[in-house]
Amino acid sequence: MDYFSGNFDVAVIGAGHAGIEAALAAARLGTKVICFTINLDWIGNMACNPSIGGTSKGHLVREIDALGGEMGIAADKNTLQSRMLNLGKGPAVHSLRAQIDRREYSKYMKNVLEKQENLTLVQCEIISLNKLDNSVWELKNQLDCVYHAKCVILATGTFLDGKIFVGDKCYSSGPDGMFPAIGLSESLKQQGIELRRFKTGTPSRVNRRSVDFTELEEQVGDERVVPFSFSTEITPQNILSCYITYTNEETKRIITENLHRSPLYGGVIEGVGPRYCPSIEDKMVRFSEKERHQIFIEPCGLDTEELYLQGLSSSLPIDVQEGFIRSIKGLEHCEIMRNAYAIEYDCVDPLELKPTLEFLNIEGLYGAGQFNGSSGYEEAAAQGLVAGINAALKVQGKEPFILERSGSYIGTLIDDLVTKGCNEPYRMMTSRSEYRLILRQDNADIRLMKMGFELGLVCEERYNKLLKKLEMIDIERKRTESTVIAPSEEINKLLVSRETSALSTGCKLADLIRRPQLNYEILAPFDKERPELPFEVTEQVEIDLKYEGYIKRQLSQVNEMHRLEVKLIPEDIDYKDVINLRTEAIEKLSKIRPRSIGQASRISGVSPADISVLLIYLTKKQRGE
């Protein structure tokens, strides 16, 4: 007999990186939330790499933080090593990445959820989901406990009908030896949701004592550590090093001679894998001309001897895994503690979702994270935050929260998913954004924190700190424009040594900073009036000065695109009524149901001519013609 366990505003299925942010956001916005997880001890588990951030992913984490999410704060509190990537390139692609103590991170997130007001955390498996006649969702777990919720967020990760593959062995499982979620997939299909199979994988973990570090390149953290969270006051410390090694011809021989034993190449795995994070056997085939591949050996935590072999994801049999790993310098005698595997799971086509991450045709049901076809902890957390916000706003009868792609990487991520879809696990990259010069990780708070404050996810103290920072930036920018550096033998000696022209007359400090060969620190000895300012202030001033022309040009493009983004399309429009709209455009527009002209213009198969026709049609409708 069923047991009724209570009414809730929002139910979140899953407590991985998407589920955590979804549950916290909805609860912090004042709705009554319940969050379900198969195992309480693995909340926020890093089933793959023990790190957060990286190229473009660091942008996502800082945006999550600026909007009031938790991931950046949790990462800072559990950092083992921090590095800013791509410092040899422009600021648009600088991305923070940190090695994380994975078990401490999980414990921290569990405790945050436990202490959050309005949030109930329950260990169980939801096996069915049905919508009742009164528009309330009914959720049932494996023990026949029934829960009711006004909105449901699916954040199932790789658990949904999960299957593990190692060589010719295949068995039902979630990641990291967890139970899979069985039954919910069938229930979702009964709701009219079409599911598909994606796959991902993870490398082996080895025991530290069995690695010969004398043969490896040590990779230390940055001297100046930058936190993920704009609220972090105690800067994280570099505690442990990473190490680098490489595959070789023997590694390649072992793998290529055993490709026939790979479930990936034997046709056993049906799911589509991530193009930008391929298995080592996939690398050997796709990049056969390469002599070697870089392998990063990364710590998993302070209280464990496990090391993660980034770059060696595989689903080959155990004997082959041992063979190719032990062919690598420094790993000749390694003890494998956890073998590599591939995991296949159910997910949805994100074209079935709105920009709010609510299903187009199923009111009150949202998707987030790998369930939506993405990959990565950061992508999942970003979607979870947006889904949680929108579920809460829906319950409260408020307008939805939609981030434009021109204003954030999160907006770009979601717009790509719901507008273009994905045929493989989607991974965020800086190249996916047309506006990356203004969507930098260093200015995420300037771009987004006001939104977080207005939503109610960012406290007044944090927001006032931002306002003070903006004031300091404005004052310092004006000072550089008014400060004149007089010519002297010392300054000209410096300028010539930096291969830039010497001064014959006084020059504004701002104009000197604009020179590619110079910066704040180089000019410090000659800037006698320079006040003591936080790095984050001088960083913004320097970037604004150096890239002023480019930034203005990109802002102009943003304003032009915004004009199309705010031109909304009626939800009940019948595209068949739009005269001169091509058949392909009618099909694509009818399926995706774009919210605005801007979104419609990015749909594959919808031409500029189709957009012109649609604009004329909407204008006439507005006039009542």
Q: Same domain, yes or no, for 104 and 17?
A: yes
Q: What is the pLDDT of residue 274?
A: 66
CB 24 within 8 A of CB 73: no
Tokens in use for 33? 């939330």
pTM of the predicted structure, to 2 decimals: 0.95
Q: Same domain, yes or no, for 395 and 310?
A: no
43 occurs within a structural domain: yes
541 occurs within a structural domain: no
Q: What is the pLDDT of residue 267?
A: 67
Q: What is the pLDDT of residue 321?
A: 97
Q: What is the pLDDT of residue 583?
A: 92
Q: Same domain, yes or no, for 120 and 19?
A: yes
Last residue in a domain, options 328, 343, 358:
343
Q: What is the pLDDT of residue 1?
A: 78
User: Which stretches of the chain score pLDDT less than 70?
Assistant: 266-267, 269-271, 273-277, 625
588 occurs within a structural domain: yes
End-to-end CA distance of the chain: 59
Task: Please provide the DSSP assignment of 468-516 as one string.
Answer: HHHHHHHHHHHHHHH-EEPP-HHHHHHHHHTTSPPPSS-EEHHHHHHST
Which DSSP letter does residue 417 get? I
Q: What is the pLDDT of residue 554?
A: 93
Task: Please provide the DSSP assignment of 161-195 as one string.
Answer: T-EEEETTEEEE--GGGPPPB-SHHHHHHHTTPPE
CATH number of the CATH domain containing 596: 1.10.150.570
The sign of the dihedral angle between the CA atoms of 83, 87, 91, 95 is negative
In angstroms, what is the C-alpha Rg of the chain?
A: 26
Q: What is the pLDDT of residue 263?
A: 87
Q: Same domain, yes or no, for 303 and 378?
A: no
396 occurs within a structural domain: yes
Query: Where in the sequence is the domain holding 611, given as residue range(s)?
Result: 567-623
Q: What is the pLDDT of residue 276?
A: 57
Q: Same domain, yes or no, for 10 and 137?
A: yes
Q: Same domain, yes or no, for 515 and 479?
A: yes
Number of structural domains in the chain: 4
CA distance 168 to 494: 66
Q: What is the pLDDT of residue 460?
A: 97
Q: What is the pLDDT of residue 625?
A: 65
Longest CA–CA span in the chain (Å) reads 91
